[in-house]
Amino acid sequence: MKYGATITGIGAYVPENRLTNADLTRMVDTSDEWIVTRTGIRERRIAPREEGTSHLAVRAAREALQAAGLRPEDLDLILVATSTPDLTFPPVACLVQGELGAGRAPAFDVNGVCAGFLTALVTGAQFIGTGTCRHVLVIGADTYSRIVDYTDRSTCILFGDGAGAVVLSRTEPGRGLLDFTLAADGREAGLLYCPHPRSPAATLAALGAEPAPYIRQHGQAVFKAAVSAMAEAITTLLERQGLVAGDLAVLVPHQANLRLLSALAERIGLPEDRVAVSIEEHGNTSAASIPLALHRWVHTRGLHPGDLVMFTAVGGGLLWGAALMRWG
Ligand code: UT7
C-alpha cells in the first residue's frame, strides 16, 4: 500500500431512552439475574419511533469530524455499516452525506451485520491505501429495536440502538491499519438471520428460517462459532506480524456477550482488563458496538501513539474477521 490509514477522530451517540433489565422482566419471563449472569447486560438504549439509524449516525459523525478537526466537505468517502437502514434505498450513507453537507463525497452502506464496522473500516483503509482518498468517514450504526421481537426472551434481552463513527485519514505506511483478515461461511446463514416482510419462501426454506421479520438466533451455536472464529482471526494476525497477545494495548471486540468476551480473552491469552467493554450499558448494538467500545476506551483509559489495537467481530452470515492497528 502507498499510504497507511489511521483513526484521527472518534464519535459516539446513543439515544436517551433506557431499557433496563427490570423493564424487560415486565415484558417477558426473565430476570435481572439471568440476563446479567448469562450476558453481562444491564441496560440498552432505544431510539424514539420517529428517528432511524441515519439520525443516530449523523450525531456520531459530527463528533468524529470535530475530533479530527475536519469539515464535512473535507471527506472523500462516507461508509455506513448497518443492517437496519432507514429505507431499502437510498443508503443510510447518502442520507448522512446530505445531512452533513459533505459536498459530492461518494457514500454507500456496508451490510456486514455485527461485523459491519470491521468490514467498513477495512474497506475505507483500502481507499486511503491506494491514494484514492485522504479522509474517509466510517460509521457503524444500527437500530435493532426495530427488528427485535419483544415477545422472544432469548433475543430481546440482547440488543440496543446506537452509533459510533471514526475518521480514517492518510498517514505514512507502517502506521494505522497494519493487517486484517476477513472471512465468511454462507452455509451457516441459518444460525442468525432476520427476514424482511417479503423474503422469498425458497430463501427462507433453504435457511430453515421462520418468515416473521424479526431476528432469530441459535444462541449456543453462534456463541461457540463466535469464540472460535474471532480467536482464529486474532491469532492469524498476531502470528503474521510476529506478535503475541501481550503486545496488544487493547482488544476492541464486537459486544455480543460478556461471557463470550471472557472466553475469547482466555483463549488468546490476553488479560481481561485489556478488553474494551461497553456491553453492560449498551447491549449488543451490532455495527455500532466496536466504535462505541473504542470511544469509551479512548475517553476512559486512553491510547498512546504506537499502541497496538486489535479489532474483531462476528456476525450473521456467518462472517467474521480481525484488524490490527498501530495507533496514532
Ligand atoms: O452479535 C452476533 C453474534 N451473537 C452472539 O455471539 C450471541 C451468542 N450467544 C449468546 O450470547 C447466548 O447463547 C445467549 C445469551 C443468546 C443465550 O445464553 P445461553 O447461556 O446460551 O442460553 P441457552 O440458549 O442455552 O438457554 C438456556 C436456558 C433455556 O431454558 P431451558 O431450555 O434450559 O429450560 C432458555 O429457554 O435459558 C432459557 N432462557 C432464558 N431464561 C431467562 C433463554 N433466554 C432467557 C431469558 N431469561 N431471557
How many angstroms separate the alpha carbon of residue 38 from the centre of ligand 1?
7
Domains identified in the chain, total number: 2
DSSP output for 106-158: -EEEE--GGGHHHHHHHHHHHHHHTTS-SEEEEEEEEEGGGT--TT-HHHHTT
Please identify, among 143, 174, 205, the residue that sits at the C-terminal boundary of a domain: 174
**98 and 192 part of one domain:** no
Question: Which residues lie across from 324 on neighbouring strands?
Answer: 179, 310
How many angstroms separate the alpha carbon of residue 220 from the centre of ligand 1?
7
Please identify, among 174, 197, 218, the residue that sits at the C-terminal boundary of a domain: 174
**Residue whose CA is at the smallest distance from ligand 1 atom 38:** 154
How many angstroms separate the alpha carbon of residue 219 from the centre of ligand 1?
6
| The ligand 1 atom nearest the CA atom of 153 | 48
- Strands (E) located in the chain: 4-13, 18-20, 43-45, 77-81, 107-110, 135-143, 161-171, 176-184, 192-193, 216-217, 250-253, 308-315, 319-326
Instruction: Tell me: pLDDT of 186 over 90.
Output: yes
Residue 320 is part of a domain; what is its CATH number? Answer: 3.40.47.10
**94 and 136 part of one domain:** yes
**276 and 305 part of one domain:** yes
Select which of 254, 257, 282, 295 is catalytic.
254
Angle 258-268/219-240 helices, nearest 10 degrees? 30
- Strand, helix or coil for residue 44: strand
Which backbone phi and psi does 36 adopt, to 5 degrees? -65, -45
| The ligand 1 atom nearest the CA atom of 30 | 47
Q: Give percent above pLDDT 90 in the chain.
A: 99
Q: Which residues have C-beta atoms less than 6 Å from ligand 1?
A: 30, 34-35, 38-39, 114, 153-154, 157, 219-220, 222-223, 226, 256-257, 260, 284, 314-315
Overall average pLDDT of the 62-89 stretch:
98
- Strand, helix or coil for residue 56: helix
Please identify, among 174, 201, 228, the residue that sits at the C-terminal boundary of a domain: 174
Q: Which residue has the cell 474483531?
A: 312
**275 and 198 part of one domain:** yes
**28 and 141 part of one domain:** yes
| The ligand 1 atom nearest the CA atom of 154 | 44
Q: What is the model's pTM? A: 0.97
DSSP output for 278-313: -HHHH-B-GGGHHHHHHHHHHHHT---TT-EEEEEE
Which backbone phi and psi does 54 adopt, to 5 degrees? -60, -35
How many angstroms separate the alpha carbon of residue 45 from the centre of ligand 1?
21
CB 213 within 8 A of CB 194: yes
**112 and 234 part of one domain:** no
Q: Indicate the DSSP class of residue 200.
A: -
Expressed as residue numbers, the domain containing 311 is 177-326
**Residue whose CA is at the smallest distance from ligand 1 atom 11:** 257
Select which of 21, 55, 111, 114 is catalytic.
114
pLDDT at 1: 87
Q: Indicate the DSSP class of residue 159.
A: B
Overall average pLDDT of the 128-133 stretch:
97
**29 and 147 part of one domain:** yes
Q: Which residue has the cell 424482511?
A: 196
**206 and 220 part of one domain:** yes
Q: Which residue has the cell 453537507?
A: 101
**15 and 127 part of one domain:** yes
Overall average pLDDT of the 274-302 stretch:
98
Q: Which residue has the cell 502507498?
A: 2
CA separation for the pair 52, 141 (Å, rounded): 10
Confidence grade of residue 94 (pLDDT, cut at 50, 70, 90): very high
Length of the chain in residues, anyone?
328
**13 and 139 part of one domain:** yes
Overall average pLDDT of the 259-274 stretch:
98
CB 289 within 8 A of CB 114: yes
pLDDT tens, position by position, 188-237:
999 999 999 999 999 999 999 999 999 999 999 999 999 999 999 999 99
**Known catalytic residue at 114:** yes
**10 and 100 part of one domain:** yes
**Known catalytic residue at 254:** yes
Question: Which residues lie across from 163 on neighbouring strands?
Answer: 13, 141
Question: What is the best residue among 28, 44, 157, 220 to mutate for testing ligand 1's pocket, by most ligand atoms within 8 Å of CB?
Answer: 220
**293 and 315 part of one domain:** yes
pLDDT tens, position by position, 8-46:
999 999 999 999 999 999 999 999 999 999 999 999 999
Confidence grade of residue 112 (pLDDT, cut at 50, 70, 90): very high
Q: Which three three-digit cell numbers place residue 124?
A: 475505507
**Across all residues in the chain, what is the average pLDDT?**
98
Q: Which three three-digit cell numbers place residue 208?
A: 430453515
Q: Which residue has the cell 433496563?
A: 20
Confidence grade of residue 243 (pLDDT, cut at 50, 70, 90): very high
Question: What is the best residue among 38, 39, 284 to mutate for testing ligand 1's pocket, by most ligand atoms within 8 Å of CB?
Answer: 38
CB 139 within 8 A of CB 163: yes
Q: Name the region of 312 (left: φ>0; alpha: ψ -120 to 50; beta: rest).
A: beta
* Helix and strand totals (H; E) in the chain: 11, 13
Select which of 21, 111, 257, 284 is catalytic.
284
| The ligand 1 atom nearest the CA atom of 315 | 2
Overall average pLDDT of the 134-151 stretch:
98
